[in-house]
Chain A
């Protein structure tokens, strides 16, 4: 069956709304704060071959193209002819799923008149998966929690009781964790019933022709965009980050090969896998690399398989972007969040108008466990962000999540959840890289431990040594730092802290764009008036004519 462009748009809108409806069910019934408040989840509708037709609109980039691959793995373990209505498939294996254990991926085969017509898919972050608290500390996957290889969590509608008995006894908050599994099932059931109603209404027997049409059109837009906006050639860039320790900085080496209608990104020469949880499995490497490409080339097209057909991503096996089992991967974001910057850095000469100067990425986080004054156990995690990089026509936003989209936790909520007092949360002036357009400033958060008992604290933090470099003559953002009672420490170690300890988290600034001497006087004046730049620094940064180029970090 052929679809004209109007029917196609109506059906596709409807499919996206079906998926968004399933997403609404998932978000509202989930216990995981990260899933809900930071949209750390995805719902996807896939055709009977496991290709994604429509993805929930608000998911963060981590899930670009992961579910189609997971569902294809499911089909390897459970060939389609063995699937029955009411089956629900499950895994959290990082290599088959989304890249770390706390994300589960669930899929339900959908049957119509006895024929397999589609799969529902959803991935999302659980409140807990056992193992060590989330930090870069673990050396092997086995320390990071319970790993579930592909299995049927439900068989013809019947729950696999033994599996859940196992799960319940391996996690810290079993009721919530099991509740979240059921939230995914609710989402799958919503998707199933809405899809079947739609197929009845429009008498659609087979989704594949519709899927093909959507893929082809999406693919064509990506291809045209490559042809129109890029030039064939090989473009390289390097990003340096703190990495696992003083001795092991991370170097992301990226070669973007632009062909006539395709792009191949290769990470040859990138740091080998490390014995901290900073390793990134290939699906996650793909997701954040492709995210950078999509932002640059076709930001408006809804996510589906076709968009990404022309984009190939490879990394050498054994590297930090393609680690061998059983590498630990829990803090994969610290490495993966650098990938959009690597891609944009490489394509900056071709797309100076579109790229963003390096942001403070990756996200920062603080993890706390222990006992409060009433001797109750607590465990939790909160995020905070630094400045975004500037662009060719705009300043970077202060303290804003990029490339992920993780919100902060309100101070009042944190103080209710954990025995801590936040003594300060403030923008750090002078931390946005100077430029014709200024990078966004980082922030300072002071956390005082007020429990009478010591607690275990871990961090996710980077760019304390290597700030992001400015583009086109701009300055880099300021580096971040982590202090314990005023003394700088390495952010990668988990530690036990005494009552009264004060931690200071200084998130990095974003890099600037363009020569600081060309900055508009009114903008420079506003920065000083609003306190984002101190008067002394302003004079120094915008002294014209600037003979200095921004110091390069690489």
Chain B
């Protein structure tokens, strides 16, 4: 392991579907450099190396100067969505070969009778049953038939399986059967990638556990090849530091951990964006934020409380219908609790069968894109409306690299207006307002599900369209403040550099608290702690720096939803019962506003979170001219901008974000332009640039 402190440069790489973003920070010089290259799907490492050599050439540093390299990627998600993973087999308990293929037996859309349910990653002919059975308390009902395991593995290998997953009933209560089967398969087929359910997702509910295990196996060979290749090629470029990866939970982990649990990477990229928003919020002294990232196709939203992004333990990947809950394959990994809405700059406006306006979730994407791109798109989109409303400057889109066609936008929006029987301007505002309403609605329900109030949060807006829409979205939610971080284009990658080493494990042990075997639970926690300490050591965390947090999924007996309760620190014993109950009731009260005395409480899953310290970023300076107090220095001019308060266009000042002097307060209405985006401030807002480069808007 290298000593990171000797090196001055840090590299973050985020491989997305279209672009690979790279950011380098020079800690000594306090410089941030970034580059964007096309993703190379056939060999993603190539794009990374290409971008890195460009950055090295442009800024004169060497591979050996990099103290660390942190990486986020959508490769895992894309492999599952595009079904490009390994031929995968599944070995399970006799009698239960169809758990994956039966699923939950429900439909995600009630009225669509030709509904497509997402097919499992393992076809039915690659599922094998073996004699074995453990009961719900972990007692052996039937031992594992080693001969049947051997035969099953041989058959699957003969069918061409590159990966084999193993999932037995109740294995989280007694992993021995899965472990024995794993040993047999490994011995006979050392080249095959192996995933077992009691390690990948040791939670109760067999369908979700097996689905996760199978997904892990499915992407394992691909990720192993990719990681080996990338590591080698980085070394060839002189990079001596280890490669670390961003997990879905917003923590960074070693290559070794990712090789074992590649499925934990499903939300790797989006997690980085949330960490960046959290980081920029903290620079402004804000710990309760809603991270709001609005791009071309989707908007992503995450609630951050006390500086901690929300975490979820159930996730869906590869949805058959993109924005429909329940249409994907369940994956039980801890992930930042993001909601994704079909609302972006490219979202298409149309008139439905009732004669009403609808916006999204269909999107014109980047190509052909909105009508104003002049790339062949004819549908009216959100960006076309934003252009007509004066929010977006046709001559300064992407800093002027891409002139926008106002006439084309007008023609497209007028088409919708005619069908609605309204004028073009009313329709343009309607499209803007409705897409905002769709996002605000999704936020409202998400916030309600957490038992919170939107007014306690600040909206932190990123993505090309985020700052354009943030003011009006915040107004709909009665939020008082919006923050637009600097350089939206690379903000997400900066999130990688502020991520702490972090990993969590879970073990199911369903038991009523008054009947719990505390010694067994303590043993479960000891085992998890040992593994987590070893995993964090791989990313350079010293054992005394590891922070541990225990959390239990608890509920009243008879309920099906659990709440997550942080357990008291210190040894667990019968004496913990009282304090745990108090904490459970406090959490329950927060979320639901009441408790139900008299009903007993049970614990289902027991989680352990381990975290090291993030290496701090050097302080970032403001981006405006620090010396100037001249308000007008930043004024670029004025233009007609639509605000509903004026019921029409209003001559509105346009400011250059890069010239805003820090801490000088401006009044709305205003438009603030920067390369990657435009911030819109309504008539009752006030705004200023702060010392760290954030743009802060206070709503009136």
Contact = CB atoms under 8 A, between A and B. Distances in A.
Partners in one complex: yes
Given A5-B421, A294-B111, A407-B106, A28 B437 contact: no
B105 A407 contact: yes
B558 A400 contact: no
Given A410-B206, A421-B141, A300 B353 contact: yes
Contacts of B597: 175
Interface in A381-418: 383-385, 391, 393-394, 397-402, 405-408, 410-413, 415-416
A186 B593 contact: yes
A530 B125 contact: yes
Contact of B113 (A12, A60, A391, A446): A391
A412 B168 CA distance: 11
B97 interface: yes
Contacts of A425: 95-96, 98-99, 102
Interface stretch (A19-27, A77-85, A235-243, A324-332): A19-27
B509 to A, nearest CB: 11
Most chain A CB neighbours (cut-off 10 Å) among B125, B207, B356: B356
Contacts of B117: 397, 400
B136 interface: yes
Contacts of A21: 444-445, 448
A431 interface: no
A416 B433 CA distance: 49
Interface in A295-339: 295, 298-301
A28 B592 contact: yes
B307 to A, nearest CB: 25
Contacts of A38: 106
B599 A421 contact: no
Interface stretch (B365-373, B422-430, B673-681): B422-430
A20 to B, nearest CB: 5
Contacts, number: 200
B365 to A, nearest CB: 23
B302 interface: no
A530 B123 contact: yes
A245 interface: no
A12 B559 CA distance: 33
Interface in B562-594: 591-594
B353 A179 contact: no
Contacts of B438: 13
Interface stretch (A29-37, A105-113, A454-462): A29-37
A31 B333 CA distance: 26
A291 to B, nearest CB: 8
Contact of A529 (B125, B421, B427, B560): B125
Contacts of B106: 38, 400-401, 405-407
Nearest to B429: A6
B560 A36 contact: yes
A232 interface: no
Contacts of B433: 6, 10
A443 interface: yes
Contacts of B444: 17, 21
B110 interface: yes
A61 interface: yes
Nearest to B173: A412
A241 B97 CA distance: 31
A12 B206 CA distance: 40
Looking at chain B's contact residues, the main secondary structure is: loop
A301 B591 contact: no
A321 B503 CA distance: 57
Given A412-B204, A425-B99, A529-B125, A295 B448 contact: no
B357 A6 contact: yes
B448 A25 contact: yes
Contacts of A230: none
Contacts of B598: 175
Interface in B119-145: 123-125, 135-136, 141
Nearest to A33: B560
A221 B448 contact: no
Given A5-B356, A173-B558, A397-B117, A411 B592 contact: no
A424 B114 contact: no
Nearest to A182: B594
A480 interface: no
Contact of B205 (A393, A401, A412): A412
B169 A531 contact: no
B228 interface: no
A524 B12 CA distance: 50
A530 B124 contact: yes
B605 to A, nearest CB: 12
A531 B125 contact: yes
B1 interface: no
A148 interface: no
17 contacts: A4-B426, A5-B356, A5-B421, A36-B561, A58-B110, A179-B599, A299-B111, A300-B352, A397-B115, A397-B117, A401-B105, A401-B107, A410-B207, A412-B169, A422-B95, A423-B95, A427-B98
By Cβ-Cβ distance, the 3 closest A-B pairs, closest first, are A6-B430, A299-B111, A17-B441
Given A186-B593, A410-B207, 14 more contacts: A5-B421, A6-B356, A10-B437, A14-B437, A17-B445, A28-B561, A60-B110, A175-B599, A179-B596, A179-B599, A384-B105, A425-B95, A425-B98, A530-B123
